[in-house]
Structure 1
Amino acid sequence: MKKTLCTVLALALMLVLAACGGASSGASSPTPAAPASSAASASGEAASGAWTPAENVTMIVAYKAGSGTDNTARVLTAYAEKYVGKTLVIENLEGGSGSIGWTALAQADPDGYTLGFVNLPTYASNIVEQLGDYTMEDIVPICNHVTETSVVLVAANSQFNTLEELVAYAKEHPGELKASTNGAQASNHIGAQLFAKTAELEYSAIPYGGTADQLLALRQGEVDFSVAKVADFASFKSEVKVLGVFDTKRLEEYPDAPTLGELGYYDQWYGSARCIVAPKGTAQEVIDFYADAFKQTMEDPDYLAAAQQASMNTEYMAPAATGELLAAQYTFCTDTVSQIWE
């Protein structure tokens, strides 16, 4: 079973990684259409005819303040104001594994004054599992912001010092170990399942309201392990231990942590991407304005220094490439993720 699952997952994730690789070049291939709308740009039209925002912009984050997504969003928006020309106001709409915030985003006016972050694969997996009242067609891609690798974590005072020790204990005590997740079938729950399925162990998944709560539960000893992304625990690295990495190579930050593949478990990259999108119907000139503004932000030396300090892996992708990534992640969820719950 383990070889079959790994083969299927590897084939699906090759599509995702191919989309990421193509994104770096900014290739202009087909992407979900953003219908032109003169009404959407009227209030922000500059003297030159190019759209610019005339008022502050709301940026919806579908997770609570202090979460990994919120932290990365705040670093970006702080430096993006220089290029956007207006204040970007974070609005945290948490709950439902992101579904509350993403439903609000999908239903927002497509006037250029409401944008949002969507997390992959959770945005797509919520649709596949019918956990959200929105579709892939309800959003228009602007750009990708970060791509982050998932890791297996335990608390700093955990009895487990290696992934082999954790797996051995889990097999000797089936179903006893508990793992906190950022929501039922959300990104970190998917990671825990990929690990458990390929390591052939049983555990109990405990869903929390988001990554911040999930990792607080880990540090307080409520659970035994978690799967999260590197930036999620950048502010409290000393409180956790990284036991394994979802990648084909070890992370430079954690050279002593083996990849899962080294130990015979899941042997492909897995992690999360955080994309900036707008509601369906947003004018193309609005999309183009923000794509350019965020590209300039992500090339700004001051932003890059702040991102490095926050352990953020910035990976800008243009609208077309971001659309390809969204589509590939949806395919990954429909063809692959659905199998790991069986």
Structure 2
Amino acid sequence: MKKVLLAVAVAMTMPVAMAWAPTSDVNVIVAYKAGSGTDTGARLLSTEAGKYVGKTLVIQNLPGGDGKIGWTRLVNSKPDGHTIGFINLPTFTTLAAQKGAPFSVSDVIPIANHLTESGVVAVKADSPYKTIEDLVAAAKQKQLKASTNGVKASNHTAAQLLAQSGKFDYKAVPYGGTADQLLALRQGEVDFTCAKVADVAKLVKGDKPELRVLAVFSPTRAPELPDVPTLGEKGLYPEWYGSARAIVAPKGTSPEIIKFYVDAFKKTMQDPATIEAHKKAGLSMDFKDDKQLGQLLKDQEVFAKDVISKLYK
């Protein structure tokens, strides 16, 4: 009995291991400029996540190189849980698959998926191309120009898929990111562009919309754009194509840190206030935990090697 009491006494005096939590502000790397679709979503989620993380999540915009600058900084950051970041799929896996890439898919550890958005084909609101059929017909008669968010970046790939399925050539004009490519379209520098539903949400609404969406890259119509046909409906690219925006940590980040963030972001995305804030912003959340995101990364790595690589030959 005395031995039992002694063991209990010793156990009570031993320090209890505390669950990991950040001890200072958390840096959140976004590889695109402020005002981009990725930045808008990242800021919205980071603001709401503060209550569950327990510290302020500070967005660090590191644009350039189609995402390479920010993501290179991310993978080289100290894996102590105080730096995480957003990646865009398939752009991240596409760049990682390139020869001489400064990072690989294995350089990041999945935390959670935030958004999954369908791609769209858009023109200026006053464009002579009223339908996707008009655009494709014109593109077969003369070379049109399309703005992209960078060479071989996600929206460039969307334009390639459209052109391949529509059997036309076009001139891709790369800009620094989605915000810049949409500005180029609005200013009349190009004839059309491919982006994501959330990117154009505010630009197609109101009394004086700036853009018109002609088609969506999805087997079914987008809930946000119910009157817009899918490309498949028009005999063009029939599969889903878009972008997943997800949160990852640098390689070497410990399992307990990853678990902390998976739990924190899950609670954030289930919070009614977060859901309402995203709804007002025209964003549809698509939470995937670290294991589900890990599988998505693998799938997108295969897609980059087997599909995207063949679009640029």
Q: For residue 300 of structure 2, what is the aligned residue in structure 1?
A: 329
| Structure 2 letter corresponding to 1:107 | N
Match of 1:213 in 2: 180
* Aligned pairs (5 A) from 1:1-342: 49-130=18-99, 132-173=101-142, 176-237=143-204, 238-342=209-313
The equivalent of 1:18 in structure 2 is: none
How does the TM-score come out when normalised to structure 2? Answer: 0.92
Say which SS state the counterpart of residue 336 (structure 1) adopts.
Answer: helix
Determine if contact 1:143/1:318 at 8 Å carries over to the other structure: yes
The one-letter code sitting in structure 1 at the alignment partner of 2:188 is G
Alpha-carbon distance in 2 for matches of 1:252, 1:126: 30
Query: 1:113 Cα deviation (Å)?
Result: 0.2
Q: Report how far residue 48 of structure 1 moved.
A: 5.3
Letter in 2 for 1:335: D
Aligned to 2:10: none
Overall identity of the aligned pairs, in % = 54
Number of aligned residue pairs: give it. Answer: 295
The 3 A distance-change label for structure 1 pair 131 and 230 is farther
CA contact (8 A) 2:97 2:104 kept: no
Query: Residues of 2 paired with 1:47 and 1:316: CA distance?
Result: 32
TM superposition shift of 1:250: 1.2
> How far apart, in 1, do the equivalents of 2:97 and 2:248 lie?
19
Q: 1:66, 1:108 → 2: CA distance?
A: 24
1-structure distance, mates of 2:20, 2:223: 42
CA distances 1:54-77 after superposition (whole Å, capped 9, x unpaired): 100000000000000000000000
- Counterpart code for 1:249: T
1:240 aligned partner, one-letter code: L
Deviation at 1:256, TM superposition (A): 2.2
Higher relative contact order (CA 8 A, sep 6+): 1
Please tell me the residue identity of whatever aligns with 2:310: Q
Structure 1's consecutive aligned runs of 4 or more residues displaced over 3 angstroms after TM superposition are none
Tell me the SS of whatever aligns to 2:291. Answer: helix
TM-aligned CA deviation for residue 233 of structure 1: 2.1
Q: Which protein is bigger by CA-based radius of gyration? A: 2
Per-residue CA deviation, residues 221-263 of structure 1 (Å, 9 max, x unaligned), is: 0000000001112232221101001001112222221111111
Could you tell which deviates more after superposition, 122-131 or 264-273?
122-131
* TM-score, normalisation: structure 1: 0.85
- Structure 1, residues 110-162: CA drift from partner, whole Å, max 9, x if none? 00000000000000001222374001111000011100000000011111110
Give the whole-Å Cα distance in 1 for the aligned partners of 2:254 and 2:223: 41
1-structure distance, mates of 2:17, 2:275: 31
Cα separation, partners in 2 of 1:47 and 1:90, compared to 1, 3 Å: farther
Tell whether the 8 Å contact from 1:154 to 1:240 is kept in structure 2 after alignment: yes
State the distance in 1 between where 2:97 and 2:163 align: 21
CA–CA distance in structure 1, aligned partners of residues 158 and 184 of structure 2: 17
Per-residue displacement from partner, 1:34-55 (whole Å, max 9, x unpaired)? xxxxxxxxxxxx9751001110
- 1:282-336 Cα offsets, whole Å, 9 max, x none, are 0100000000000000001111011111111201111111000011000000011
Give the Cα separation in 1 of the matches to 2:201 and 2:131: 20
* Cα distance change on mapping 1:131 and 1:254 into 2, 3 Å: farther
Where does structure 1 lack aligned partners over 5 or more consecutive residues? 1-45
Provide the secondary structure at the position in 1 that maps to 2:264.
helix
Q: Aligned-pair RMSD on alpha carbons? A: 1.2
